[in-house]
Amino acid sequence: MSEVNKVVLAYSGGLDTSVILKWLQDTYQAEVVTFTADLGQGDELEPARAKAKAAGVKEIYIDDLREEFVRDFVFPMFRANTVYEGEYLLGTSIARPLISKRLIEIAKETNADAIAHGATGKGNDQVRFELGAYALNPDIQIIAPWREWDLLSREKLMAYAEKHGIPVEMKHKQGGSPYSMDANLLHISYEGRHLEDPAAEAEESMWLWTVSPEAAPNEAEYLDIEYKQGDIVALNGKAMKAHEILAELNRVGGKHGIGRLDLVEGRYVGMKSRGIYETPGGTIMLTAHRGIESITLDRGAMHLKDELMPRYAEVIYNGFWFSPEREMLQAMIDKASEPVKGTVVVKLYKGSVSVVSRKSPYSLYSLEHVTFEDDEVYDHNDAAGFIKLNALRLRLLAERKRKMNM
């Protein structure tokens, strides 16, 4: 690695990146530029600015990326109904390519030699950040302190912070090391502490966005969701920007206890990990999107999408957003989404979301064909030939089997 005089750090102001900031200054004797992405985490932003300034940082970037995040990353992903390992809505994964993109842009703007991140050597995020960065600038230098230093536990990080006078916000009332948390408009995640034991139930006081389903309102709430080309454009008849839509879905979903997930997932680096997630808005989006697709997508298109979705989810989870395979899959998904227009009504009640109504000007649903009443458009006798043709190979196989068993 060549000499590093200036480095752009992906900086949250939390324990890890606060320690990394000081460590970079001391270890590399380099000027540090901090970049904090506003992806909807809210009140963490101004404290991050204050901490960076107190640490002697002269160039502080805090960029509002909420609209770009939802419009250009979250919405395209949800057009595919993307779920990893059957449950995870990829709230952390989908934020990383945008952060990498902005890190590379700031490095160019500030003439920095390198970028740095706070992902550990055990996790997926190191892969996601670095694959994204190299895809956009193949010559960029990347510093990953967790792969260089000996501060390999939360306790050691806290001791380092105390030694150097770095303020640390405790995110847990009972003391000890804080949860490892990640928040953006799509989700908030929790790892670490007693959650490392997959047999231990998450404590109720941990949840920040959602009430428990038991404490949710006793009356159901109905939400009218309008789609155009596979993306939500309005809620209850009110047109809104992409990030405003997701924020509102989070609010109403959290109110009804929707979107809690306790998951043991297979990390890209090979190990199993247990994470707790709150994704109220995303959970509503997934259910509603499948609802509108059910009347606007042809069976062949829908089934093909469902076959390819796990591959698409894996591409995003593993950090290959800027890869040709993701772009190829996205082109197919976006083409399929062209007729996905209309409205869906969902019912929210005590942790559940269900579709109760759907309509579209491009609907493929034909009451004339599907009715149980008399109709003049469908000849039932046509089914006999259809069945015989499809049964031909089965009948031939059955005949062969009978001969083999003689």
Task: Using pLDDT thresholds of 50, 70 and 90, give the confidence band for residue 130.
Answer: very high
Give Cα 139 distance to the centre of its chain: 28
How many structural domains compose the chain? 3
Q: 341 pLDDT exceeds 70?
A: yes
Average pLDDT, integer, range 76-85:
98
Task: Using pLDDT thresholds of 50, 70 and 90, give the confidence band for residue 134.
Answer: very high
For residue 180, indicate whether it is catalytic.
Answer: yes
Residue 367 lies in a domain: no
Residue 366 lies in a domain: no
Q: Of the candidates 342, 315, 318, which has an alpha carbon nearest to the alpha carbon of residue 326?
A: 315
Catalytic residue among 12, 180, 189, 360: 180
Catalytic residue among 96, 102, 260, 326: 96
Average pLDDT, integer, range 85-102:
98
Average pLDDT, integer, range 126-140:
98
Average pLDDT, integer, range 281-299:
98
Q: What is the pLDDT of residue 169?
A: 65
Q: Is 249 found in the same domain as 143? A: no
Residue 365 lies in a domain: no
Q: Is 160 found in the same domain as 63? A: yes
Percentage of the residues of the chain whose pLDDT score is greater than 70: 96
Residue 164 lies in a domain: yes
Q: Is 381 found in the same domain as 345? A: no
Q: Write out the two tokens for 199.
A: 């047999």
Q: Is 101 found in the same domain as 247? A: no
Residue 218 lies in a domain: yes
Q: 203 pLDDT exceeds 70?
A: yes
Q: Is 161 found in the same domain as 285? A: no
Q: What is the pLDDT of residue 172?
A: 44
Q: Write out the two tokens for 219.
A: 């009356």
Residue 247 lies in a domain: yes
Average pLDDT, integer, range 190-202:
93
Q: What is the pLDDT of residue 155?
A: 85
Give Cα 307 distance to the centre of its chain: 20
For residue 128, indicate whether it is catalytic.
Answer: no
CB neighbour burial string for 72-105, b if at least 16 within 10 angstroms, e if fewer: ebbbbbbbbbbbbeeebbbbbbbbbbbbbbbbbb
Query: Is the pLDDT higher at 107 or at 380?
Result: 107
Residue 105 lies in a domain: yes
Q: Is 114 found in the same domain as 208? A: no
Q: 196 pLDDT exceeds 90?
A: yes
Average pLDDT, integer, range 177-205:
90
For residue 125, indicate whether it is catalytic.
Answer: yes
Average pLDDT, integer, range 250-272:
96
Q: Is 171 found in the same domain as 41? A: yes
Using the 3D structure, point to which of 141, 157, 180 is the last residue of a domain: 180
Catalytic residue among 18, 66, 93, 125: 125
For residue 326, indicate whether it is catalytic.
Answer: no
Task: Using pLDDT thresholds of 50, 70 and 90, give the confidence band for residue 40.
Answer: very high
Residue 1 lies in a domain: no
Q: What is the pLDDT of residue 369?
A: 67
Chain segment 142-176, per-residue pLDDT in tens: 999 999 999 988 789 989 999 999 987 654 444 44
Using the 3D structure, point to which of 162, 180, 198 is the last residue of a domain: 180
Containing structural domain, residue 330: 188-359
CATH number at residue 169: 3.40.50.620
Q: 377 pLDDT exceeds 90?
A: no
Q: Write out the two tokens for 166.
A: 């770095």
Predicted TM-score (pTM) of this structure = 0.92
Using the 3D structure, point to which of 125, 160, 180 is the last residue of a domain: 180
Q: Is 257 found in the same domain as 136? A: no
Q: Is 162 found in the same domain as 19? A: yes
Q: Write out the two tokens for 350.
A: 């005590």
Q: Is 354 found in the same domain as 256? A: yes
The whole-chain average pLDDT of the chain stands at 94
Percentage of the residues of the chain whose pLDDT score is greater than 90: 84
Q: Is 11 found in the same domain as 134? A: yes
CATH number at residue 274: 3.90.1260.10
Spatial separation of the C-alpha atoms in residues 255 and 377, rounded to whole Å: 47
Catalytic residue among 12, 16, 66, 113: 16
Q: Is 193 found in the same domain as 279? A: yes
Task: Using pLDDT thresholds of 50, 70 and 90, give the confidence band for residue 367.
Answer: confident
Task: Using pLDDT thresholds of 50, 70 and 90, give the confidence band for residue 379.
Answer: confident
Spatial separation of the C-alpha atoms in residues 398 and 392, rounded to whole Å: 10
Q: What is the 3-state secondary structure (H, E, C) of the chain?
A: CCCCCEEEEECCCCHHHHHHHHHHHHHHCCEEEEEEEECCCCCCHHHHHHHHHHCCCCCEEEEECHHHHHHHHHHHHHCCCCCECCCECCCCHHHHHHHHHHHHHHHHHHCCCEEECCCCCCCCHHHHHHHHHHHHCCCCEEECHHHCCCCCCHHHHHHHHHHCCCCCCCCCCCCCCCCEEEECCCCEEEECHHHHCCCCCCCHHHCCCCCCHHHCCCCCEEEEEEEECCEEEEECCEECCHHHHHHHHHHHHHHCCCCEEEEEEECCCCCEEEEEEECHHHHHHHHHHHHHHHHHCCHHHHHHHHHHHHHHHHHHHCCCCCCHHHHHHHHHHHHHCCCCCEEEEEEEECCEEEEEEEECCCCCCCHHHHCCCCCCCCCCCHHHHHHHHHHHHHHHHHHHHHHHCC
